[in-house]
A and B are shown apart, each in its own frame.
Chain A
Amino acid sequence: MLPPDEITARLRAAGQGDREALDEVFELVYEELRNRARIQRGRWSGDDTLDTTALVHEAYLKLVDQSSADWNDRAHFLAVAARAMRHVLVNYAEQRRAAKRGGGAKHVPLDDHNPVSEEVAEEVLALHEALDRLAEKSERQARVVEARFYAGLAIEETAEALNISPATVKRDWALASAWLHREIKTNLT
């Protein structure tokens, strides 16, 4: 694992458009979130929930060098983390789907770290696919949904992460959520 100041440097490079640095940071953040998700299960919020908001912030505190980071770095981090969080959840949902297709009986072991239940897995995946289609219409709106829904970021934080105004976040969220809701409803029924 890279030391925090290195990660901060990569984050900065990614913020300036360095694709390779972005991929590298994404990998790191994804791993960190997954590990933290595992640790967190059964920590703050009882057994069946995953406090994605806390995960993202904890990961930030751990990965990014606090003494040198500025608000800009934080914004870049949150943007990456939101996307990574989406993949963490989608990955859980895919595991569930795979388990179901494997024909396994409905059996959840005690040490299960997967917070996404079988019932909700298909919906999470439908949202994921709809979100890809939304990104074709508006990349920004898709990112807003990632930040708001998956990472549980506040409006201010979302605005900060995507470098847009809070009002835009609100408008994007209203339209995106309406569109996605309609998509999922028609695709799942």
Chain B
Amino acid sequence: MKSERWQQVEQIFADALERPPVERARFVADACGGDAELEREVLSLLDSADSAGDYFSELADRAGIPAVNDDDDENLVGRRVGNYRLIALIGRGGMGAVYLAERDDEQFEKQVALKLLPLGMDSEESRHRFLLERQILARLEHPGIARLLDGGVTEDGTPYYVMDYVEGTPIDVYCDEHRLTVAERLKIFLSVCEAVQHAHRNLVVHRDLKPGNILVTDSGEIRLLDFGIARMIDREKAKEGTTFTQHARPMTLAYASPEQVRGESISTASDVYSLGILLYRLLTGYHPYASAFTSPTDAERTICEEEPTRPSTRVLRAAEPADDGSTASRATPAEVADARNTTVPRLGRDLTGDLDTIILMALRKEPGRRYPSVSHFAEDIHRYLSGLPVSARKDTLRYRTSRFVRRNKIAVGIAAAFVVLVVALAGLALRFAVTTAAQSRAIAHEAATTEQISALLIDMFRTADPTAGVGDTVRVRTLLDRGAEQIASTLQDEPEISLRMLDVLSQAYRNLGLYDRELALREEILNVERSVHGPEHPDVADALQQLAETEFERRRFHNAAPLFSEVIELRTSLGHDALAMAAAQLKLASSLRELGDPDSAEVLMDQVIATRSSYLGEDHFRTVEARLELAFVLRGKGELDSAEALYRAVIPLLRTHGDSGASILAPALNNLAYLHMTREEFEQAELLYREAVSYAQEWSTPPNVILLHNNLASVLDQQGKVAETEEVLLEAIRIAEDHWPEGHWRVGSSYGALGDFLMTVGDTATAEPFQRDRMESYIQTLGPDHAWTAFAKAVEGTCLTSAGRYPEAESLLLQAYAALRSSSGEDNSYTLDAVRRLVTLYESWGRLDQAERYRALLPRTEDGT
């Protein structure tokens, strides 16, 4: 029924379309013979038909698929072009359609690819470009580039050319499908470089290098395709070429270089960049930029401004969850590693160091800072594969010195926020000061507010970096001091509030690293508690323990140990149970260990572990934490095997304890690593340090993270891994630059660590700018007379000596010597070190009498006579 009706519609509609538009309405009315519904339906469809064509073309366009083509000109499958018969359309690009074709007039069945300028694009310019592409291909004869076989013009004047039909797989897919290792991928990438080099030697820049244009055949050979937007770079053509830059078909953004997206002039360096992205992708499975390309503007910003993620870091990071439903296509790190026939940690390790450096050098934003040519790029990969030092290394070190651009504005902002909160807190304290005890009960909800503010304040002091801005710290400190005074003078009659405020302030001092002030407040709190409750009271025990902890934090163990003993005694006489004493016992054990009494520490720790096991259970976090301390004690006693066994037992338990476990994993791993270091088991130590670093980055403070980097660097150095050592020290610099403002001594220290290392490998010239930066930051933030500043000057003096800049070196070394002599004395080892440096300077300078004069200051055993 229904379909019969539709057949009527179909017939009348088709017939109506055959007629001129003006006659259609009348025709339909006649044909429907009074069936008003039918007539309405057909007219409505005819009306819709007017715009349907445009609608579907436009919908196809928006959906990103080829438009339905009514005149069918574009698809010429089955037709003959020259001596070829077109078999299938295999591609359609901006610059023409590519068909699979066969020679029609000969017996041999060779399949070729035939590219034809599409009819619609037959403008003077596209014709010109098409012919130029043909000309470019004709210049190139290389096994890695699809060959030009033939070319001509069809009967109707459309140009075409014929090239090898390459049956292959895009290079990235090929590598994954064959599970090629990193080394195998590098080799296949080198053959891509050869083909691109060939093009460059023939003055052709490809400009659209990406996996889809680089196929690998079944026999494993690569073929470079699609020189559609390639450009010749000889001078004559360059003039015409300038028009291409403006009209070139959009390049593939994911592989486009900054100069390409900005529409600036393009050179072989642009291909170096695209090859860098390609290599990045082949090795890591990901694109180097973390940001998405949500729009062309975003893409341009990302490409031009965002620093690529280090390849070794990229492979460790889980893929960000895709929120567009395309998760299926996004490989996890484990899948990526598997496709490279390796594991995630091993892949990370393989990429760390030279490969990171090589790839990042190819991806520099400034074309002039990349490899000067594809051959240099390839040469470095060859060097890497043969275990030779790569050229990118030294260049990267120099490059880094000129790019100290990051600042931490947030830290400064937080410092400013402290001030506001301290003022608020001081205000509340004053309001409490003028109320009586009864009134203060009446404003209980305000007390709750105080709780919140103090909690927030403590939290902010904890999370923010106190050294973010020296000026701000000073201001915060002044305010805290004033608050402490006010509390002492005005809250005498309100011990409860006073104690609470003092506690807040002392925590604030601790988080600012002002331990002396914290100590003074802790002592005051203890005194107040004693005067309120008498000597034996749980609150007194708590205050005493806090005081002991403060001494412990200051590493003044000889003070901390008797205080902890006192806490234990007090708690015993108060009848506290064993569990309540365990924390003080543990700290006492640590103090005794530090004071060189590991035997007593071990006895205490056995007690703590027994207590916590029976009260809390063997696997409780507190028990595990105590076993960790015992491992530390055992290591101190030189019982390395038992210590190691304990670490190995405890570390997996920490992993089961969520955040609290994770937060102490880094020190645990660091300690175990150190144990392996003392046994000269460097490989194991390295693995543990690396793991410690990854935990510390999430759970620890920047100074600890940097400390771990330095430990890692030293174990790498021990193994002679120069490039990796530098990489780790550079990473430490990056962390320091991220967290402290330029010129901060911690940033300077991180430069110095790298500089020192470079000097030990004899690269004084590269070390010099780092040492100079350290020195300048010390002068700026520690002061010109600080002992560290003097030492930094001495080291810089030695660098300048090596560079033959004797007068500058002399001035620095004399300053260093004078400062160290006056601060540390004539016989101090640092003072003598400065003297030795002066001797070396004068000897190199040829001023032997001066050298002699300073040598006389050295102890007799080394004065050389």
Q: Which residues of A contact B (CB under 8 A)?
A: 38-40, 42-54, 57-58, 60-61, 89, 94-96, 98-99, 102, 104-117, 119-120, 123-124, 127, 136-138, 148-150, 152-157, 170-171, 173-175, 177-182, 185
Which residue of chain A is the closest to B169 with respect to CB atoms?
A: A39
Given contacts A107-B294, A138-B10, A178-B48, A54 and B89 within 8 Å (CB-CB): yes
B56 in the interface (beta carbon within 8 A)? yes
Alpha-carbon distance A96/B78, docked complex (angstroms): 38
Q: Judge whether A178 and B45 touch: CB under 8 Å.
A: yes
Q: Pick from A60, A110, A156, A177: contact of B287, CB below 8 A.
A: A110
Q: Judge whether A110 and B293 touch: CB under 8 Å.
A: yes
Alpha-carbon distance A182/B322, docked complex (angstroms): 35
Distance of A52 from chain B, by nearest CB (Å): 5
Which residue among A108, A120, A170 has the maximum number of chain B CB atoms within 10 Å of its CB?
A: A108
Which residue among B48, B49, B286, B330 has the maximum number of chain A CB atoms within 10 Å of its CB?
A: B48
Which residue of chain A is the closest to B251 with respect to CB atoms?
A: A46
Alpha-carbon distance A26/B414, docked complex (angstroms): 61
Alpha-carbon distance A138/B52, docked complex (angstroms): 18
B243 in the interface (beta carbon within 8 A)? no
Q: Judge whether A152 and B63 touch: CB under 8 Å.
A: no
Q: Chain A: interface secondary structure?
A: helix
Q: Judge whether B212 and A39 touch: CB under 8 Å.
A: yes
Q: Judge whether A46 and B49 touch: CB under 8 Å.
A: no
Q: Judge whether B212 and A171 touch: CB under 8 Å.
A: no
Q: Pick from A44, A124, A185: contact of B212, CB below 8 A.
A: A44
Q: Judge whether A114 and B326 touch: CB under 8 Å.
A: yes
Q: Judge whether B254 and A42 touch: CB under 8 Å.
A: yes
Q: Pick from B62, B98, B291, B292: contact of A117, CB below 8 A.
A: B62
Chain B stretch 302-358: residues in CB contact (< 8 A) with chain A: 320, 322-326, 329-330
14 new A-B contacts at CB < 8 Å, known A95-B324, A104-B324, A181-B52: A42-B252, A43-B210, A44-B93, A57-B90, A109-B292, A117-B62, A137-B2, A152-B68, A154-B77, A155-B72, A171-B14, A175-B10, A180-B52, A181-B55
The 3 closest A-B pairs by CB, nearest first: A43-B212, A104-B323, A95-B325
Q: Judge whether B90 and A177 touch: CB under 8 Å.
A: no
B219 in the interface (beta carbon within 8 A)? no
B66 in the interface (beta carbon within 8 A)? yes
Alpha-carbon distance A61/B291, docked complex (angstroms): 37
Q: Judge whether B59 and A46 touch: CB under 8 Å.
A: no
Q: Judge whether A149 and B249 touch: CB under 8 Å.
A: no
B3: chain A residues at CB < 8 Å are: 137-138
Alpha-carbon distance A98/B326, docked complex (angstroms): 10
B94 in the interface (beta carbon within 8 A)? yes
Q: Judge whether B325 and A43 touch: CB under 8 Å.
A: no
Given contacts A111-B330, A181-B51, A120 and B320 within 8 Å (CB-CB): no
A61: chain B residues at CB < 8 Å are: 88, 90, 100
Distance of A9 from chain B, by nearest CB (Å): 21
Alpha-carbon distance A143/B641, docked complex (angstroms): 75
Given contacts A43-B213, A47-B252, A175-B45, A115 and B65 within 8 Å (CB-CB): yes
Q: Pick from A108, A116, A157: contact of B292, CB below 8 A.
A: A108
Q: Judge whether A110 and B254 touch: CB under 8 Å.
A: yes
B75 in the interface (beta carbon within 8 A)? yes
Which residue of chain B is the closest to A185 with respect to CB atoms?
A: B48
Distance of B564 from chain A, by nearest CB (Å): 52
Q: Pick from B51, B173, B249, B292: contact of A110, CB below 8 A.
A: B292
Q: Pick from B52, B89, B324: contact of A109, CB below 8 A.
A: B324
B621 in the interface (beta carbon within 8 A)? no
Distance of B211 from chain A, by nearest CB (Å): 8
Alpha-carbon distance A124/B488, docked complex (angstroms): 74
Q: Judge whether A175 and B326 touch: CB under 8 Å.
A: no
Q: Judge whether B59 and A96 touch: CB under 8 Å.
A: no
Which residue of chain A is the closest to B323 with respect to CB atoms?
A: A104
Q: Pick from B52, B251, B286: contact of A177, CB below 8 A.
A: B52
B856 in the interface (beta carbon within 8 A)? no
Q: Judge whether A112 and B322 touch: CB under 8 Å.
A: yes
21 A-B contact pairs sorted by A residue (CB < 8 Å): A39-B173, A43-B210, A44-B93, A45-B93, A46-B249, A46-B251, A57-B88, A57-B90, A95-B325, A99-B325, A102-B323, A105-B323, A107-B323, A108-B294, A109-B330, A149-B56, A152-B65, A152-B68, A157-B77, A174-B52, A181-B55
Alpha-carbon distance A170/B46, docked complex (angstroms): 15
Alpha-carbon distance A98/B325, docked complex (angstroms): 7
B788 in the interface (beta carbon within 8 A)? no
Which residue among A46, A60, A98, A148 has the maximum number of chain B CB atoms within 10 Å of its CB?
A: A46
Q: Pick from B88, B170, B294: contact of A106, CB below 8 A.
A: B294
B6 in the interface (beta carbon within 8 A)? yes
Flag B253-293 by CB within 8 Å of A: 1 or 0 each. 11000000000000000000000000000000011010111
Distance of A66 from chain B, by nearest CB (Å): 9
Which residue of chain B is the closest to A98 with respect to CB atoms?
A: B325
Q: Judge whether A95 and B89 touch: CB under 8 Å.
A: no
A96: chain B residues at CB < 8 Å are: 324-325
Flag B201-221 by CB within 8 Å of A: 1 or 0 each. 000000000111100000000
B68: chain A residues at CB < 8 Å are: 148-149, 152, 173
B53: chain A residues at CB < 8 Å are: 177
Q: Judge whether B330 and A181 touch: CB under 8 Å.
A: no
B9: chain A residues at CB < 8 Å are: 175
A94: chain B residues at CB < 8 Å are: 325
Alpha-carbon distance A127/B325, docked complex (angstroms): 21
Alpha-carbon distance A182/B52, docked complex (angstroms): 8
Distance of A180 from chain B, by nearest CB (Å): 7
Distance of A96 from chain B, by nearest CB (Å): 7
B410 in the interface (beta carbon within 8 A)? no
Flag B1-25 by CB within 8 Å of A: 1 or 0 each. 0110010011001100100000000
Which residue of chain B is the closest to A112 with respect to CB atoms?
A: B326
Distance of B453 from chain A, by nearest CB (Å): 34
Distance of B113 from chain A, by nearest CB (Å): 12
B44 in the interface (beta carbon within 8 A)? yes
B212: chain A residues at CB < 8 Å are: 39-40, 42-44
Q: Judge whether B92 and A51 touch: CB under 8 Å.
A: yes
Alpha-carbon distance A60/B77, docked complex (angstroms): 14
A175: chain B residues at CB < 8 Å are: 9-10, 13-14, 45, 49
Which residue among B52, B250, B254 has the maximum number of chain A CB atoms within 10 Å of its CB?
A: B52
B60 in the interface (beta carbon within 8 A)? yes
